[in-house]
Amino acid sequence: MSEDQAASTGEFEREPVPDSALLGFKSFLGMYAGEHCAGTELMIGPLFVAAGVSAYDLIVGLFLGNLLAVLSWVLLTAPIATRVRLTLYYQLEKICGRHLVTLYNLANGVMFCFLAGSMITVSATAVGVWFKFPMPGLEDVYPNSAGWVIAVLIVGAVISVVAAFGYKTVSKFANIAAPWMVLVFLVFGIVALKDFITATGAEIHSMKDLWQLAETTIWKGGDPLPGQTKFTFWHVTFFAWFCNMAMHIGMADLSVLRFARKSWYGVASAAGMYVGHFMAWIAASLLYAYQLHQDPTNTDVLPGPLAYQACGAAGLICVIIAGWTTANPTIYRAGLAFQAIMPSRSRFAVTLGTGAIATIAGMFPAIAMKLLSFVAIYGMILMPMGAIIFVDHYLFKRFGLISYYAEQSGCRFNWAAGLTWFLTMGACVGLVQTAGVQIYFVSLPGWFIAAVLYLVLSKFYQQQS
């Protein structure tokens, strides 16, 4: 077996990646570009419009936020990944102990279940176009028709069974779909923009004309739709920066970037950010903005009908595949996380059970309709572990503390790390509930709280032990 094959079959999971198995820049470019153009983009773009975002705030905010995300990968994740060359889980196990990693897995698995549920929701909106059953509105919390429940049930069952039978086929299919999907997203944007120009009779001869159309007709700003939080420049910037917080600041991409020859390969994440989180979000937001322009009372964020209107059956296929290829590995990985807690159960059964939970979650449109908040919570919950890894790697020796403490001491639950995690989440919730800090921003002070807490608590914990 070659080392490339070894990497793909999951070797080097408890050892540093050897030099001979390192990968070139192109591998990361393709992976990031494909991975970040997913079903979620079809919800996030429209939800920006529902949040009353203005043209400047959206375009400049996304540019800056994505730049900050790329810098987080380049400056925080990639240097540790290329020095240590271990997976996130193995590194966490060395620092936190096996039991705390299991708890981290559980939190990850639960969040993955809900995110997979929202992707099942996205795919089910495409089914609704064919079968014309009532679909949920922007403010709906509960399923609103039997047809909707049946559609989610069928889509969820298919995705779960496929995930239980095999991950690799879907992964291969997702790789094939990725370049096509990126272009279909781009077409969504071009068609919606053209429809705007036609509907308004605007004369577009220069970028200035286009910008005027964007400011006055497409992303007009103003009040958000009922039930939505108003998004300003800073909301957009922080959302774009933190929506993948678990991956960069939270260090989940240590597992990916440990294969990088150089730490600057983290810059490949720009392909994902500026294709998926810039172009695709703008394109999806254009579809929804045009729907509102045509009928301001139609506030439903339903990717199926939006895509069908712009691109017909190909658009619907894109919605189904985007939701499916995102939900499938998510259910599979959530299943793996749960299996670590129930090792006696088969992977097949656990994945099916996980899929059932995701499917039930998918029936409740509130998760997809509140995706902006949910993604921010997801990042906040997993972020403290990234701060713990950062502090362990860069600061522990300077403060006379022992790195990889769980491994060195043989403990299975590093209480300094565990308390850091719980107290940071508590502090973040406290800041949101009592200090009026919105969930989109709270992870920034949260990271510093986690870093300081881990240093202080480790000082006491390591002295006592």
Residues that bind another protein (CB under 8 A): 4-5, 7-8, 10, 13, 23, 27, 31, 35-36, 38, 40, 44, 87-89, 108, 112, 115-116, 119, 167, 171-173, 175-177, 179-180, 183-184, 186-187, 190-191, 193-194, 243-244, 246-247, 252, 255-256, 259, 272, 277, 311-315, 317, 326, 329-330, 332-333, 336, 375
Least separation, in Å, of the C-beta of 61 and another protein? Answer: 16
Find residue 23's DSSP bridge partners: 260
User: What is the DSSP secondary structure assignment for residue 262, as one 8-state letter?
Assistant: S
Contact 278, 66 (CB under 8 A): yes
The smaller minimum CB distance to another protein, of residues 49 and 280, is found at 280
Residue 167 dihedral angles phi and psi, to the nearest 5°: -95, -35
The smaller minimum CB distance to another protein, of residues 72 and 87, is found at 87
Which amino acid is residue 102, in one-letter code? T
Least separation, in Å, of the C-beta of 32 and another protein? Answer: 9
Contacts of 293 (CB under 8 A, 6+ apart): 196, 199, 217, 218
The smaller minimum CB distance to another protein, of residues 161 and 190, is found at 190
Contact 11, 263 (CB under 8 A): no
Least separation, in Å, of the C-beta of 252 and another protein? Answer: 5
Q: How is residue 4 written in tokens?
A: 């490339």
Question: In whole angstroms, what is the distance from residue 465 CA to residue 461 CA?
Answer: 6
Closest CA to 262 of 4, 22, 20: 22
Q: How is residue 393 written in tokens?
A: 């790697």
Least separation, in Å, of the C-beta of 195 and another protein? Answer: 8
Which amino acid is residue 433, in one-letter code? Q
Q: How is residue 124 written in tokens?
A: 């089910």
Least separation, in Å, of the C-beta of 406 and another protein? Answer: 19
Least separation, in Å, of the C-beta of 175 and another protein? Answer: 6
The smaller minimum CB distance to another protein, of residues 243 and 449, is found at 243
Q: How is residue 385 written in tokens?
A: 């572990």
Least separation, in Å, of the C-beta of 16 and another protein? Answer: 14
Contact 264, 24 (CB under 8 A): no
The smaller minimum CB distance to another protein, of residues 175 and 409, is found at 175
The smaller minimum CB distance to another protein, of residues 116 and 352, is found at 116
Least separation, in Å, of the C-beta of 366 and another protein? Answer: 18
| Percent of the chain that is helix, strand, coil (3-state, to 5) | 75, 0, 25
Contact 232, 57 (CB under 8 A): yes
> What is the end-to-end Cα distance of the chain in Å, rounded?
44
The smaller minimum CB distance to another protein, of residues 26 and 230, is found at 26
Find residue 220's DSSP bridge partners: 54
The smaller minimum CB distance to another protein, of residues 5 and 298, is found at 5
The smaller minimum CB distance to another protein, of residues 253 and 396, is found at 253
Closest CA to 60 of 278, 207, 269, 281: 278
Question: In whole angstroms, what is the distance from residue 291 CA to residue 46 CA?
Answer: 10
Least separation, in Å, of the C-beta of 190 and another protein? Answer: 4
Least separation, in Å, of the C-beta of 430 and another protein? Answer: 26
Question: In whole angstroms, what is the distance from residue 378 CA to residue 425 CA?
Answer: 11
Which residue do the tokens 């705390």 mark?
100
The smaller minimum CB distance to another protein, of residues 358 and 416, is found at 358
